[in-house]
Amino acid sequence: MDLEAYATTHRDDWQRLHQLSRVGRLNAQEIDELVELYERVSTHLSIVQAQDPDGGYANRLSLLIARARAKLTSATGSPVAGIKNFFAVKLPYALYQIRWLTIVLGAAFTALALAYGFWYGNNPEMFDAMISEESQIAYVEEDFVDYYSENPASSFTTLVWVNNAWIALQEVAFGITGFFVPYVLWVNAQGLGISAALMHKYDELGTFFAFITPHGLMELTAIFIAGAAGLRVFWAWVAPGRATRLQSLAYWGRQLILVGVGLVGVLLISGLVEGLVTPSNLPTWAKITIGAFVLAGYWAYTWMLGSRAAAANADADLEDYDGGRQLVTA
């Protein structure tokens, strides 16, 4: 096919689509025209790419389609509706898809932490081989509790948020390796179990749970969510199913983006609990109740909205334009 002749034949459509893409506000008739031209020129692009995928016409039409898609979205879709759809459908469905893996990681983490706790708790002499008795007492009587109150609540909340986000980011980024997530969970479970055993040695296990449980319920769940998302990408590489390995990785990689955005909010909430509720003078039962309500709220959000989206055959994937995929068909 002669691309020059093809371009000459359809140049008017391309120029008109370019004009509509640059208009500030479109009326109803112009929106209809934009939709029609968008579909038509998308077909032109697929034909041109079939002949010369990296040529000048293909590149120019790709940019034209991208601009038209952005204009079409802004002209026909409300930003508020898009945000609502993200939080009411896409995000809960993305979290819902990894719910069982999240629970499995949480159960494995808990079992490992309990194992270390019982091991060190029944063998307290192991602490003497690690640190001096003075350091043990200082940790139990001062360091453990002071950690939550030695800094102003606002700065401590920010510090906690950044620290937890960093751990979650590592799980997300290196989850594809397959071994990094289990390693991170093992290290943290080990530390939690040993810390509990040390507090138990000096009859302060109640203090341990009073200061760990309120924020730890949601904070640790966020770590499990990040781990589940990272491992799901790893599994997409190992067992892509009917899709190609690249397609499977791309899809679950985009799910990772959605989960990552959700974790920003989840970790912010757990950080607020750790910075404001944990060190407060509220009764222990009240602090733990607040933490339990936060966790219950997360699972209600994920299970109720996520299952509803699944029943409606919703798609948690990003739109083609937002996901960086090229639109080549009408």
Average pLDDT over residues 82-99: 87
Question: Tell me, what's the pLDDT at 329?
Answer: 38
Other beta carbons less than 10 A from residue 161's beta carbon: 19
* pLDDT higher than 70, residue 264: yes
The verdict on 156 and 197 lying in the same domain is yes
CA distance 221 to 284: 21
The verdict on 211 and 238 lying in the same domain is yes
Question: Tell me, what's the pLDDT at 56?
Answer: 82
For residue 51, which of 5, 12, 83 has the smallest C-alpha distance? Answer: 5
pLDDT bracket for residue 14 (50, 70, 90): confident
pTM recorded for the entire structure: 0.73
Question: Tell me, what's the pLDDT at 321?
Answer: 47
The verdict on 61 and 105 lying in the same domain is no
The verdict on 232 and 187 lying in the same domain is yes
**Is residue 240 within 8 Å of 249, Cβ to Cβ?**
yes
Is residue 224 a part of any domain in this protein?
yes
Q: How many domains does the chain have?
A: 2
Question: Tell me, what's the pLDDT at 282?
Answer: 94
CA distance 305 to 95: 10
The pLDDT tens digits for 268-327 are 999 899 989 999 999 999 999 999 999 999 999 999 999 998 887 766 655 544 555 444
Helix and strand totals (H; E) in the chain: 15, 0
Question: Tell me, what's the pLDDT at 42?
Answer: 87
Other beta carbons less than 10 A from residue 177's beta carbon: 14
Is residue 321 a part of any domain in this protein?
no
For residue 32, the enclosing domain spans 3-77
* pLDDT higher than 60, residue 232: yes
Query: Could you tell me the end-to-end alpha-carbon distance of the chain, in angstroms, rounded to an integer?
Result: 20
The verdict on 72 and 200 lying in the same domain is no
Average pLDDT, the chain: 85
The pLDDT tens digits for 55-88 are 888 888 888 888 888 777 665 555 666 678 788 8
In this structure, of 118-132, 178-192, 205-219, 314-328, the range with the lowest mean pLDDT score is: 314-328
The pLDDT tens digits for 133-170 are 999 999 998 888 888 877 676 676 777 778 888 888 88
Is residue 126 a part of any domain in this protein?
yes
Is residue 280 a part of any domain in this protein?
yes
CA distance 219 to 60: 47
- Domain termination residue (choose one: 77, 112, 136): 77
Q: What does the block give as tokens for 162? A: 């950044």
107 vs 321, which has greater pLDDT? 107
The verdict on 92 and 179 lying in the same domain is yes
The verdict on 105 and 44 lying in the same domain is no
The verdict on 59 and 106 lying in the same domain is no
- Domain termination residue (choose one: 29, 58, 77): 77
Question: Tell me, what's the pLDDT at 328?
Answer: 40
The verdict on 57 and 150 lying in the same domain is no
